[in-house]
Homo-oligomer: A and B are copies of this chain.
Amino acid sequence: MTDPFFSSDTVRSAAPLKYVQTARVGAMDLELGGRLDEVTVAYETYGRLNDDRSNAVLICHALSGDSHVARHDEADDAGWWEIAIGPGKPIDTDKYFVICPNILGGCRGTTGPNSINPATGRRYGADFPNLTTRDVVETQRRLVDYLGIECLLGVIGGSMGGHQVLLWATVYPQRIRGAIPVATSARLSSQGLAFDVVARNAILRDPNFCNGEYYDSGNLPRVGLAIARMIGHITYLSREAMREKFDANRTSPRDVPILFEKKFSVGTYLGYQGAKFVERFDANSYMVLTTMIDLFDMGPTLEDLIKAFAPATCRWLFISFTSDWLFSPEESQEMVHALILADKPVSYCNVTSGCGHDAFLLEDDVDRYGELIRGFLASLTGQGEPEESLPDDDAGYSPTSMFSPVRRHRLDYDRLAELIPPDASVLDLGCGGGELLARLKQRGLGRAMGVELLEQAIVTSVRRGLDVVHADLNRGLGSFADGQFDWVVLSRTLQAIVDVELVINDIVRVGRRGLVSFPNFGYRRLRRMLAEQGRAPESDQLHYKWYNTPNIRVITIADFEQFCHEKGITIHRRIALDTEAQREVHEDPNLNADLALFVISR
């Protein structure tokens, strides 16, 4: 089948896997009470384990994946994450020793329902016990022991694989330095759960299923499993992706040998996906693994999540995709929220993508999620990238960037650095690529964290080794706790904020001290523009016109001081600067300063 119409990450050969190794990891007593007398784990490895065994990265595959994550040589079949893993790729096998085991309960080498039950000499079938994600992680932990690895550099997984990452970090905190949960959640949404139930019902009620005892009958529950796969496949794609692929020729079905409706192109596509899946996947594994997904639950409330994450000691990088509706960005954001409140080092990026849940398997957005992973792994090894290799903030992330074409010395950064003690914890709002935090870190800093809206800036911050969270300041700082940071910095961004009151209140709630800087529209030259020329004041720090500036608030030093007075906010320090003359202003700052820094608190 070479028709590109059918191209999909999910169409993969059921060929026996070369390069697969196996490890016997002994008997297991399972979380839900069952027991497996002998467990074998099938796995593949890539790259070389270094001498101090510190460069191992564990990959946890999703529902339909297996141990073949990438090709081992030119002649080898492509793996399910070929785009992310290999020499020079984001998970660089020239640097890292990559391990990818097949999942417990699966059907591609690791012990599962279609394995021989040593107790009976027959396949488990209906006798296979119920599994939990914790059981899966236990087998992986035993594999890591077997390989003689004390601590994993990173554990990475998407979707169901993400659930395993979450448990690795919380159940074996000492054995993982970095966790990268991709497109996952702390518990499946009720919508996603509902689709799983319907899928299982289709298998359960397939007359060939026989309650799981079909291996010797010669009749597999093909229809039920194919229906299940079709439902799943729809949930992996976004509406946009389906529109692009099928809207144009919706009534041009392909002629495929399937037992299903062939009226519409999308119908033959799904029918084909379903039929292919039946060739390489086992219905009992589908039942066991989807039930495991549906049972995974770190708790419904934020408090539950904070408790669940408490044991974790690793650094975190969460990645979600904007068009993913099976594991939605909100579900990643809930976990990031909990980790922030639990004071864990966490970064997060909601990658703009049209590909839906499958985005993490596709090439379309790898330029961002791949680089995030690459940068995060590098920072874990302590080999963060050198400053000179990173773009400056005046590369133009920030609409409020003050840099004029000719770069000017950042007088306000000097003052900031003087005000903030070297051991203080700092939250930088609108941190861009992280230049300010990096600079503060150079001369010493406590916990440092950034909040940024722009994806590319987040990638740069992560490459700098910073913890940065993807969020919109106009939604406030709801994710942060009262007094969580010594200092909360809002540098030259206030004038671009829609909900000023919300943001300022949150700054003095989250920070023991708030440090706010903004261009002063009371500045002499700007006053003249309106008073004498009758023109809207234009700060030349902000090279925009009245009709296109992102700086929507006209603020003067006097305005801000009255605002603080009215809102019961204490002003501890005011620093007024004339950035053109590169000097601090002391007399009539509202008239003579073009930039003001305020240190405030509630």
Q: Which of B193, B261, B545 contacts A266 (CB 8 A)?
A: B193
Cβ of A124 to closest chain B Cβ, rounded Å: 20
Question: Measured between C-beta atoms, what is the minimum distance from A405 to chain B in Å?
Answer: 21
| Surface stretch bound by B, among A92-100, A103-111, A194-202, A393-401 | A194-202
A77 to B270, CA, bound (A): 41
- Provide the A549-585 mask, 1 if CB < 8 A to any CB of B, else 0: 0001111111100010000000000000000000000
- 1/0 per position for A238-269, CB-CB distance to B under 8 A? 01001101111010000000011101101100
A389 contacts the other chain (CB 8 A): no
Residue of B with least CB distance to A523: B534
Contact B534 A198 (CB under 8 A): no
Among listed A138-146, A226-234, A342-350, interface-contacting one = A226-234
In the complex formed, the residue of B with least CB distance to A230 is: B198
Instruction: Determine, out of A52-60, A525-533, A594-602, the stretch whose residues face the partner at the interface.
Output: A525-533
Closest B residue to A207 by beta carbon equals B207
Q: Is A174 an interface residue (CB 8 A)?
A: no
Partner of A534, one of B297, B553, B556: B556
Quick one: given A239-B191, A243-B189, are A200 and B266 in contact (CB under 8 Å)?
A: no
A274 to chain B, nearest CB (A): 8
Check if A325 sits within 8 Å of B559, measured CB to CB: no
> Which of A325, A546, A563 is the most central at the interface, judged by chain B CB atoms within 10 Å of its CB?
A546
The size of the chain A interface, using a CB distance under 8 A, is 74
Number of copies: 2
| Pairwise interchain contact B247-A190, C-beta atoms closer than 8 A | yes
Complex contact B536–A555 (CB within 8 A): yes
Interface residues of A, dominant DSSP: helix
Smallest distance from the beta carbon of A569 to chain B beta carbons, Å? 12
A472 within 8 A of B: no
Say whether A563 contacts B590, CB under 8 Å.
no
Contacts of A246 in B (CB 8 A): 190, 193-194
Q: Is A162 interfacial (CB 8 A cutoff)?
A: no
Does A204 make an interface contact (CB < 8 A)?
yes
Residue among A190, A237, A243 having the largest count of chain B Cβ atoms under 10 Å: A190
Known interface pairs A243-B190, A264-B193. Does A205 touch B259 (Cβ–Cβ under 8 Å)? yes
State how many angstroms separate the Cβ of A232 from the closest Cβ of chain B.
10
In contact, A546 and B537 (Cβ under 8 angstroms): no
Do B197 and A267 touch (CB < 8 A)? yes
What distance in Å separates the Cβ of A553 from its nearest Cβ neighbour in chain B? 6
**Interchain residue pairs A-B with the least CB separation, the first 7:** A531-B531, A552-B552, A500-B547, A190-B246, A522-B534, A197-B267, A536-B554
Which residues of A does B touch, CB under 8 Å? 187, 189-191, 193-195, 197-198, 200-202, 204-205, 207, 223, 227, 230-231, 234, 237, 239, 242-243, 245-248, 250, 259-261, 263-264, 266-267, 270-271, 291, 294, 297, 300, 325, 328, 499-501, 521-522, 526-528, 530-531, 533-537, 545-548, 552-559, 563, 590-591
